[in-house]
A = this chain, B = another copy of it.
Amino acid sequence: MEFYDYFRSSASFRVRIGLNLKGLAPGRHFIHLTRDGGQQFGDAFSQLNPQQLVPVLVDGDTVLTQSLAILEYLDETHPEPPLLPKGPAGRARVRALALSIACDLHPINNLRVLFYLKDHMNQEEEARTAWYRHWVGKGLAAFEAMLGHGAPGGRFCHGDTPGLADICLVPQIFNAKRFDCPLDGYPTAMRAFDACMAHPAFDAAQPSKQPDAE
């Protein structure tokens, strides 16, 4: 397997955690994302992924994109340890938690959106930061409330083993810290975050520990 990654990408961070949990160590390729002239716009990478986004995982002839699709693929092809619980209700709970971040929070605060606000709507840094914190606050409040529903107990988001919900939560908390978002309103989510960061698969996946970190 070959993995196309960028240390600061939250979606790549998710896949790094998943690979570590599964004990997989693909070949690594670092795509330095910058706004203009970034490596994501190069011909070779664009052909691999027309969305010009990381992460990309190549497994034999199969080119995989979209972090959650990659993680589901890894879970189907390398079932141990599982990233989703066994029963359909538990699986739906964990997927809903993961999607609440991957759909309803993360894309709105993505770099290309922040650039649009700056370039086309003349929003200064202060307004962009307020935007960022607003959606982090909305998203984490929803996540915290959802954690209170149908929880089986345990240190992580769903029981005593980390899974897809934890994988989405952790990079989002890193983002929130980078933008100094207040985090004291989310005690259950932060407990799960702390449990994750004590786990070597999460720790080794964090941005500052990647070979391409600046």
Contact = CB atoms under 8 A, between A and B. Distances in A.
Interface of A: 50-51, 53, 62-66, 68-70, 72-73, 76-77, 88-89, 91-93, 95-96, 99-100, 102-104, 106-108, 113, 116-117, 120-121, 123, 127, 130-131, 134, 142, 145-146, 148-150
A66 B108 contact: no
B146 A68 contact: no
- A92, A116, A123, A134, most chain B CB atoms within 10 A: A92
Contacts of A64: 92, 96
B103 A65 contact: no
A106 B107 CA distance: 9
A72 B99 CA distance: 12
A151 to B, nearest CB: 13
- Per CB-CB distance, the 10 closest pairs between chain A and chain B, nearest first, are A50-B145, A69-B95, A66-B96, A69-B96, A73-B92, A66-B99, A62-B89, A51-B142, A76-B88, A69-B92
Nearest to A60: B89
Contact of A77 (B65, B66, B88, B93): B88
A73 B88 contact: yes
A13 to B, nearest CB: 15
24 contacts: A50-B145, A50-B148, A51-B100, A51-B142, A51-B146, A53-B104, A62-B92, A64-B96, A65-B96, A66-B99, A66-B100, A68-B95, A69-B96, A73-B88, A73-B92, A76-B91, A77-B88, A103-B103, A104-B107, A108-B113, A116-B134, A120-B130, A121-B127, A121-B131
